[in-house]
Amino acid sequence: MAATDLHYLGLVDVGRKIQAKELSPVEATKAMLGRIEKLDGKLKSFAHVMADSALTEAAAAEKEIASGKIRGPLHGVPVAVKDLCWAKGAPAAHGMTIHRDFRPTEDATVVARLKEAGAIILGKLQQTEGAYADHHPKIDPPKNPWNADLWPGASSSGSGVATAAGLCFGSLGTDTGGSIRFPSAANGVTGLKPTWGRVSRYGAFELAATLDHIGPMARSAVDCGAILHVIAGQDPKDTTAVPLSVPDYLAGLTGDLRGVTIGLDRRWTSEGTDGDAAKVLAEGVRVAADLGAKIKEISFPDPKAIIDDWFPLCGIEVAVAHEETYPARKDEYGPALAGLLDLGRQQSGMDYQKIVLRREAFRGAVRALFESVDLLAIPAQAFAAPTLAKMAALGEDASLIGGLLRFTCPFDMTGSPTVTLPGGFAANGGPVGFQFVGRHFEEAGLVRAGDAFQRVTDWHKRHPAI
């Protein structure tokens, strides 16, 4: 198979070819490494390429597959991981200069599980500083492959860019306020933020412990389901990873949404939402109805207070994570992360307790909503395909930051699972996504909904001209 026919295949599709011995894992890995070498000097999506270990892993996978041992859908498939996920012996800078010399002596649980599944780790993907809003001033940020003037998303920007550009067949990102969903929407890929506690966070640098989620980004919902099945589950190294069995997310996919009730708050999802984002959501809901879903009008709990609370809560948790280096090494921090840390350190115990109580009340209200619906349909963000110039004003424009977080951070505060699906393009040519949100630990329903949508649409099969 020619490399030109290979790089935009789906993860599960390329895995089938590899496991059927139609394609060599070494051939696939060399093709992806060659594409990284050719294109990533411009795209800047990789923080560190692990070529030698990737080729060693590919050779081992090829030998195993030749002997008839198949570990699962990811066996022999080249993937990449966000830089904050530790890989033994490889740099893990966390988007920071402070950690640029750090080499972990063990794998993060998610990395270990990818390796156990036979996946080939191509390297570490670039991210914002500390996985917050902006890249460190000394780091050249990833470029959106659709248009270098468009925002590539944050903080899993490298994961979104590399996956969209065909530099890996799937990747891992993390989401604390929207950082799987932003780059998935911005780059036209599918992202699955699992329920908090579904995936171990051991061996991954923290942004904010009770808000951080690790999840897959890939071509399709099916591909995300295949990755999630591998990385999810109980972990003795992380007691917050829940001891629930992990389903086969690819089993029983019907291609329809009969029997599924989707909640839609038309007021909340339209107020302040631009035309491109609203159009993509409306079309996603129309397709879901055509696939058999019942669309139910709902009233979503007012999220304004919980969005406002996200900032100080995140700041408090970040301050704990950075206690050893901030403010002692403040001059090595970029302005965005330093500002968040200062905000967190200014909060009192009384402030924190009020946030905790409001968060619990909001969680309860959202949980009650899911007693009458299976999924929610919402935009990925209030404004579609923003430019870098627009996002540069984020710190000075409260409506911008509110529009960015309006449909994302509430579901980090609740820990709810979501899937972000490519659903169209903005007038400026940038990809636009929308989300389905599910009940806790019902990621299978999100994979089913995403797969059904993607069987009858081709947005996820469109790729940038690079």
**What residues are labeled active site?**
82, 155, 179
DSSP string covering 300-335, please? Answer: PPP-HHHHHHHHHHHHHHHHHHTTTTTTTTGGGS-H
Give the neighbor-by-neighbor strand order of the sheet with 213-218.
46-49, 120-125, 78-82, 170-175, 213-218, 190-193, 418-425, 431-438, 375-379, 261-264, 294-297
Cα–Cα distance for residue pair 281/445, rounded to 1 Å: 18
Determine the angle formed by the axes of helices 11-19 and 221-231, rounding to 10 degrees. Answer: 70
Structure tokens that stand for 352 in this block? 């924190």
Structure tokens that stand for 63 in this block? 């030998």
Residues ≥6 apart with Cβ < 8 Å to 195: 213, 415, 416, 417, 440, 441, 442, 443
Cα–Cα distance for residue pair 164/64, rounded to 1 Å: 29
The half-sphere exposure of 81 on its side-chain side, counting CA atoms within 13 A, is: 32
Helix runs in 81-180, H state only: 109-116, 157-164
CA 289 to chain CA centroid, Å, is 26
Cα–Cα distance for residue pair 302/366, rounded to 1 Å: 10
Tell me which H or E stretch contains 218. Answer: strand 213-218
Cα–Cα distance for residue pair 147/141, rounded to 1 Å: 14
CA 246 to chain CA centroid, Å, is 19
Cα–Cα distance for residue pair 211/408, rounded to 1 Å: 12
Cα–Cα distance for residue pair 278/345, rounded to 1 Å: 38
Structure tokens that stand for 175 in this block? 């989401």
What are φ and ψ of residue 174, in 5° steps? -130, 155
Cα–Cα distance for residue pair 140/422, rounded to 1 Å: 26
CA 10 to chain CA centroid, Å, is 17
| DSSP-assigned beta bridge partners for residue 319 | none
DSSP string covering 194-207, please? Answer: PPTTSB--TTB--S
